[in-house]
Structure 1
């Protein structure tokens, strides 16, 4: 897998949009958190929760990075060269997922603690739990993997971004359109965004952190399995 990792690292890090998207993910996450904490005028505001609000905006940039990592090759036709030089498609997919995850974790490791530091400066209080930090970083990495799997299955940048953003931002709203309360709660819990909030939260929520992580891992596994299967069994 060393050859595939080196190739995917070179391709993604030399893509012109990659450094800008990584910087944008950091800036948007920190800026969104600063805006959220700065808008709080009540002493009862939850500092940690507000400090992590920027993650909801930063995930949009992370998703775009993952989608472009796949769809850029299909748009330029370079996918044919990649699969000719490295015919082990599942290994190529795993290498691409590894590189995207590594870059996302690096950006998140900068953005999330800095966002919490900004929140501490604006709204002084107790230090946040380590779970809030690690949960937010892990959430962004899993969103990148979910987006990667969706993009691999769809292979079109615009459509892939539309589907990913719908899953992240529209699906939670649609869950409230279900009339039966028990099903409404079920669909609400199954939304990645709501699960992400539960993983990051330092307060008791309807969905426990472990259950929320399970939901995110289920989405990730389903997305990656679908993408890998389609990549392996259909023409490039």
Structure 2
């Protein structure tokens, strides 16, 4: 009797400790394979690289031709030459984040994913981590190439001796690109449709700042809305990546909120709706 009752328990313990069990590390590996095996991922990263490096070179050439700024210094800091294209590449990052999950819904792969890993929060976390790592690594490489390409074109190179003029803005630029991608990923989980998620992402990153800026001519009663525009992701990211020692904490907290809230909504939808 003892042998009969202990054998199922033994099998249960053996199954729970089996090396084939889907751990979080293996879930990360799975999400990595899914992301890097998509042609759309590489096309998006290539577009971001071409836009960023090309625009940086163009800005460097233009500012050099314009000559020195006030006081005889360079008309534009070299690190700003590298970071200004982020206002365009942020859309690519957001779109990449959106299609990283909406593609799974369109093909039905999300069902296989959730069958293999029923803990839906773990699926969202793994995908967010992988998307963040890919965007961060790609942005670092893009910035490095852009610095090398623009070095012959700027009158004064990046001042690496001053962190506020070099490392800190570049690090915040990488952080901003990651946040833009997570915003798209969050909308992708919520909307579950590629076109809809991309539209929502572009609306938040690009359209809302334009709409908010229109209220600058509407009088003092609408000034609060103009002031609130600085906390939109594109404006807050620009503030973080700017040079100088201004207080960046409000912009940083705004960016964190812009990453957390869409992902939180996506987690809620993922838990409460069938795939």
TM-score w.r.t. the length of structure 1 is 0.92
Counterpart secondary structure, 1:30: helix
8 A Cα contact 1:105 1:140, kept in partner: yes
Q: Does 1:46 align with 2:76?
A: yes
Instruction: Identify the residue that residue 61 of structure 1 maps to in structure 2.
Output: 92
Show the 5 A alignment for 1:1-20: 1-20=24-43
Match in the other structure for 2:44? 21
- What is the CA distance between 1:181 and its match in structure 2? 5.2
Q: Report matched runs for 1:126-145 at 5 Å.
A: 126-127=158-159, 128-145=165-182
121-130 vs 95-104, greater mean Cα deviation = 121-130
Structure 1 113/219 Cα, relative in aligned 2: closer, same or farther at 3 Å? same
Aligned residues: 234
Inter-partner Cα distance in structure 2 for 1:219 and 1:5? 23
Shift of 1:20: 2.6
Quote the Cα distance in structure 1 between the aligned partners of 2:187 and 2:83.
Answer: 25
For residue 264 of structure 2, the aligned residue among 212, 218, 225 is 225
Structure 2 alignment gaps of length 5 or more: 1-23, 70-74, 160-164
**Aligned CA distance change for structure 1 residues 211 and 118 (closer, same or farther; 3 Å):** farther
Q: Distance in 2 between matches of 1:167 and 1:121?
A: 36
Q: Residue by residue, what CA displacement relative to the aligned partner does 1:104-131 show, whole Å, maximum 9, x if unpaired?
A: 0110011123324434432222524211
1:148 is displaced (CA, Å) by: 0.6
1:133-154 alpha-carbon deviations (Å, 9 max, x no partner): 1011111011111111111101
Alignment of 1:66-81 (within 5 A): 66-81=97-112
Deviation at 1:46, TM superposition (A): 1.5
After superposition, residues 63-102 of structure 1 pair within 5 angstroms as 63-102=94-133
Contact 1:66 1:147 in 2 (8 A): yes
Match of 1:148 in 2: 185
Q: Distance in 2 between matches of 1:106 and 1:34?
A: 21
Q: Give the Cα–Cα distance (whole angstroms) in 2 for the partners of residues 119 and 214 of structure 1.
A: 32
| Root-mean-square deviation (Å) | 1.8
* Cα distance in 2 between the residues matched to 1:132 and 1:17: 29
1:116–1:172: structure 2 CA closer, same or farther, 3 Å change rule?
farther
**What corresponds to 2:250 in structure 1?**
211
Deviates more, 1:84-93 or 1:25-34: 25-34
How far does residue 184 in structure 1 lie from its aligned partner after superposition?
Answer: 3.2
- Work out whether 1:105 is the aligned partner of 2:143: no
TM-score w.r.t. length of structure 2: 0.79
